[in-house]
Structure 1
Amino acid sequence: MGTLTGRTVLISGATSASGLAAARALLAAGADVVATGRSPERLAPLAALGAQTAALDLTDETAVRGLVEDLHARGVRVDGLLHLVGGWRGGGGLAGQSEEDYRALESSLTALRHVSRALDDDLRASSAGRLAIVSSTAVARPLAGGAAYAAVKAASEAWTRAVAQGWAKAARDAGTELRGAAVVLRVTSLAGLEDRLAEQFVRLWSADAAQLNDSILAVQEKETA
């Protein structure tokens, strides 16, 4: 494929099945992959694929900035960010939405804020910067049993769209062509769609940034004839 040769993509929260699928697809497309997660043991399969790995807590802003500084010290600049930090807690209606559940879910938004800020300069400077988060169709139709989950996903979408607006405004103010795109990838469930998500993420580099930026894309199974 080779469409991403020479580009570096960071996967935040890469130790899931979706992270493995994304790493495979990115490496096959020629990208250098930096895979992050909390557990060195769970990062080992990604290293075996050929990804660089970094074990850290993405809710720790100092650790995140340290990772980016280390990449820069090695001459590495990041062209893409796929944010996969997430999880599910819910059920029991509003009464079942505990504060503990919300705080656990909120960590994905905290991680997104830290990573996207730390990589903002890199993604803006790239000739084709791409940022994508995985969100949920629950944002469009939240249910009481998943109120905390939908609220965090909605906030993450708002943050990503704010990134998109910032990039577009900077390009307009400078009188230059928009080269970066921040997008939301929505799923009903990732189960069985890991490879499809990976393919769609890789294809972001084949799309025009101006048309792609600030878009919400559905990740669905391929249609069968």
Structure 2
Amino acid sequence: MAQGNGALSGAVIAVAGAAGPAGRAALVRLAEAGATVIGSDANAEGLAEAVDAARYAHGGATVVGDTVDLLDAAAAREWAGRVEKDFGRVDGLVHLVGGWRGGAGFAETDLADWDLLEKLLIRTVQHTSLAFFDALKRSDRGRYLLISAAGASKPTAGNAAYSASKAAAEAWTLAMADGFRKAGGEDGPRSAAAILVVKALVHDAMRAERPNAKFAGFTDVKELAEAIAGVWERPAAEVNGNRLWLTEKP
């Protein structure tokens, strides 16, 4: 059953990229914490499965799905407006839209990978942050959370496009954080934008496929979901504009 007295009790949290393994774990954990959770994904079938699983895990929790193309700026804004209209407020946007492409080395980099990753990892951040900024600023506990990778701070030769995309998304999120800082004035920010940094993510299906793999330094999606929920337990001024490391700093 949902918990009723924590920092997320009664909060309204939107989750972008909710159909993937990390999104599914986040829906479950946020619902468990007492939040109303609105998941979005371009994959309607996967989103429906994720929403059903979260509802089943926590009877009585409000978990809904909204199929949204976050590459469409207008659609993202419509989604943000719909969430606030339907639920009266928005207290969080968790950005879990992901993707990866890489190569054998720097010279072998295919710029078609950049074209794809720029859309998945940068455009969706731009569209969701711009769409939700004002609503999150109005909240007394607004949080925008980007999930990033350690490679953004220490790129490898074969991951130029991926690392550069993540680094751009981080810079964009930190600019949003400065917007919250300025809006808070002398009292400090009431809302926050922060970055959760992992090496890579692992989930049960990956372990089943590769039972002998160590996945050293990887963060389990359930651990990530726990860290996401924990951000609301900390004051906005403490997390705003910061990278919260869930793996060793490179």
Q: Specify the alignment match of 1:134 in structure 2.
A: 147
State the alpha-carbon separation in 1 of the partners of residues 82 and 142 from structure 2.
20
State the alpha-carbon separation in 1 of the partners of residues 116 and 29 from structure 2.
29
SS in 1 for 2:66: strand
State the alpha-carbon separation in 2 of the partners of residues 220 and 23 from structure 1.
22
Contact 2:40 2:67 in 1 (8 A): yes
State the alpha-carbon separation in 2 of the partners of residues 72 and 57 from structure 1.
18
Q: Specify the alignment match of 1:105 in structure 2.
A: 117
Q: Specify the alignment match of 1:203 in structure 2.
A: 230
TM-superposed CA distance for 1:177, in Å, is 4.0
Alpha-carbon deviations, 1:63-109, whole Å to 9, x = none? 11121232233243210111011111001222322221111111121
2:84 to 72, 75, 95: 72
2:66 to 47, 54, 69: 54
Contact 1:82 1:132 in 2 (8 A): yes
State the alpha-carbon separation in 1 of the partners of residues 108 and 68 from structure 2.
31
* Structure 1 residues 1-225: aligned runs within 5 Å: 1-2=3-4, 3=6, 4-48=8-52, 49-50=54-55, 51-107=63-119, 108-172=121-185, 175-192=186-203, 193-220=220-247
TM-superposed CA distance for 1:220, in Å, is 4.2
Q: Structure 2 length as normaliser, TM-score?
A: 0.84
Q: Structure 1 length as normaliser, TM-score?
A: 0.92
SS in 2 for 1:70: helix
Unmatched runs of 5 consecutive residues or more in structure 1: none
Contact 2:27 2:51 in 1 (8 A): no
TM-superposed CA distance for 1:171, in Å, is 1.0
State the alpha-carbon separation in 1 of the partners of residues 238 and 44 from structure 2.
38
Q: Specify the alignment match of 2:208 in structure 1.
A: none
SS in 2 for 1:206: coil
TM-superposed CA distance for 1:213, in Å, is 0.9
State the alpha-carbon separation in 1 of the partners of residues 230 and 84 from structure 2.
26
Kindly, what percent of the aligned residue pairs are identical?
38
Unmatched runs of 5 consecutive residues or more in structure 2: 56-62, 204-219
RMSD of aligned Cα (Å):
1.5
Runs of 4 or more consecutive aligned structure 1 residues displaced over 3 Å after TM superposition:
none
State the alpha-carbon separation in 1 of the partners of residues 100 and 127 from structure 2.
21
TM-superposed CA distance for 1:140, in Å, is 1.7
SS in 2 for 1:114: helix
